[in-house]
Amino acid sequence: MAATGSEKQGGEDVKSFYVSTPIYYVNDAPHLGHAYTTVAGDVLTRWHRQRGEKVWYLTGTDEHGQKIMRTAEANDVTPQEWCDKLVEEAWKPLWEHLGIANDDFIRTTEKRHTDRVQEFVQDLYDKDEIYKGGYEGPYCVGCEEYKLPGDLVEDENGVKLCPVHKKPVEILKEENYFFKLSEYGPKLLEFYAANPGFVQPESARNEIVNFVKQGLQDLSISRSTFDWGVPVPWDDKHVIYVWVDALLNYATAVGYGANQEKFDATFPANVHLIGKDILRFHSVIWPAMLMAQGLPLPGKVVANGWLMVGGEKMSKSNLTGIKPQDLTSHFGVDAYRWYFLRAIAYGSDGSFSWEDFSARYTSELANDYGNLASRLAAMVGKYYGGVLPEATAAGEAEQAVRDGLAKAVTTADLKIGEELDFQSGILAIFDFVKQVNGYITEQEPWKVAKDESPEGRARLATILYTAAEALRGVAVLLNPIMPDTSQKLWESLGAEESLGALSDQRVQDAATWGRLAVGATVTKGAVLFPRLEEKPA
């Protein structure tokens, strides 16, 4: 886990590489869509830890608002009781199950958060950034957002629907407090121009720039028709708008107003990972709030696409919300972590199907990767009694493998660590796995083993050491993505004794050749990716 406070390198304070997920509504248990973003953040932060960087990874739950209140009422419990139950029985256990190595889990009902939210909003009010007014308009409880008329869609009867939830909007009229968001349009456009990578992917950036160019309306930052929220500090008849409350988690969780040293060492986030349906909140409202308070803006806001099932966005409301455990019980946790980032280009919509998962699992994980590890361990066991031999007869074929590993490291580090192109990074690693399989096939060590001459023995030893070293590099590269199976491979190669813990290996050093110790004990453990049984009914 990352440390709190400052660390020094070269006499200078080093800021944490800070990544956040959305904080998720606890109106129901998590589904694949929630886990998709959280796993992506986990892989990204594990990758940066594997680089040796100081990292902070935040996730959590959004527990205020009308949607939560109505869900609790429908279940005949208080909103707090509902939130406590869902967080402790569904959300936190799932992240643990999926191996999510978050440094903090923020809940918006925690005092460390609510006190700071009131202070932040009070500061804006004192600066004359907030005023009282009235508003009437279409409101989607599912989004907890007033919709612009142009955002709505119509059903066959002409009823106005939320484009995300496909449910009728409610026309609300109430007296609210407003944040002067309209004044920040020019400042936001100037910032977007100076920081073209702030909103990603490019399609999302274009959408936001065009939206702001059309002119911004002031933002209603309070609600007065219900009371499940953080009270407005100067007027307890109002509660703070749930999105203002929620966005501030990125600051309150790292010490805003409470621990200045930690805040300075962590804030702002380097990367906010979000779903594209909450893009405007994070790339328009959030930066405007920070500008108003004189705080630094995040490095980038990256919107992932939707997971689709049967052509519909995956969600509980349209009955396509699949539980991650439905898949991990069949494919395993590591394969689950790998599949969605491998199969779907991050930032684009992607369709999930059981058949596609099964096909990729069998072809790439079981046949290409798992079988390579098993064959290598079996041959070292058969021909050298499980002791890794020394390579003394390397040639062009071995140099090609070394070059292939170097290419995989460079490409994967750029794509995963910098560009958040998880798919391309994973493909680069598995292209190298295919290359090593091709090397084994071409060199035919089972035939070379029949040559008992010194030259034959040297050649066999070189082939097996080359394959083992290649897999050593693969274990390092795949550790952020598939930590359990990478650890099993690391132990199978006998790497821990001479090289230390897998988590201490650096991505940037993974291509340094010859690191596995000659004489290391290579063991054939359990199959990394067992053959799949039939799909459960």
Question: Helix axis angle, 483-492 relative to 371-384, nearest 10°?
Answer: 10
DSSP state of 277: G
Is 323 a known active-site residue?
A: no
State the distance between the two ends of the chain, measured CA to CA, in whole angstroms.
39
* Torsion of the alpha carbons at 290, 215, 213 and 248, rounded to the nearest 10: 20
Q: Could you say which of 64, 113, 162, 262 is catalytic?
A: 162
Is 97 a known active-site residue?
A: no
Q: Could you say which of 147, 313, 415, 488 is catalytic?
A: 313
- Exposure string of 489-509, with b = 16+ CB inside 10 Å and e = fewer, is bbbbbbbeeebeebbebebee
Q: Could you say which of 48, 54, 67, 143 is catalytic?
A: 143
Residues forming beta bridges with residue 106, ordered by sequence position: 60
Q: Could you say which of 85, 165, 187, 300 is catalytic?
A: 165
Q: What are phi and psi of 15, to 5 degrees?
A: -75, 145
Q: Could you say which of 140, 272, 282, 415 is catalytic?
A: 140
SS3 sequence, 214-280? Answer: CCCCCEECEECCCCCCCEECCEEEEEECHHHHHHCHHHHCCCCCCCHHHHHHHCCCCEEEEEHHHHH
Tokens of 114: 């609510």
Is 382 a known active-site residue?
A: no
For Cα atoms 37, 38, 42, give the angle at the middle one, nearest 5 degrees: 120
Cis peptide before 296 (omega within 30 of 0): no
Question: Are 449 and 460 a contacting pair, CB within 8 Å?
Answer: yes
Q: How many CB atoms lie within 10 A of CB 313?
A: 19
Is 83 a known active-site residue?
A: no
Rounded CA separation 58/435 (Å)? 37
Q: Could you say which of 127, 173, 237, 316 is catalytic?
A: 316
Strands 271-275 and 17-25: parallel
DSSP state of 282: I
- Reduced to 3 states (helix: H, G, I; strand: E, B; else coil), residue 178 is strand
Residues annotated as part of the active site: 31, 34, 140, 143, 162, 165, 313, 316
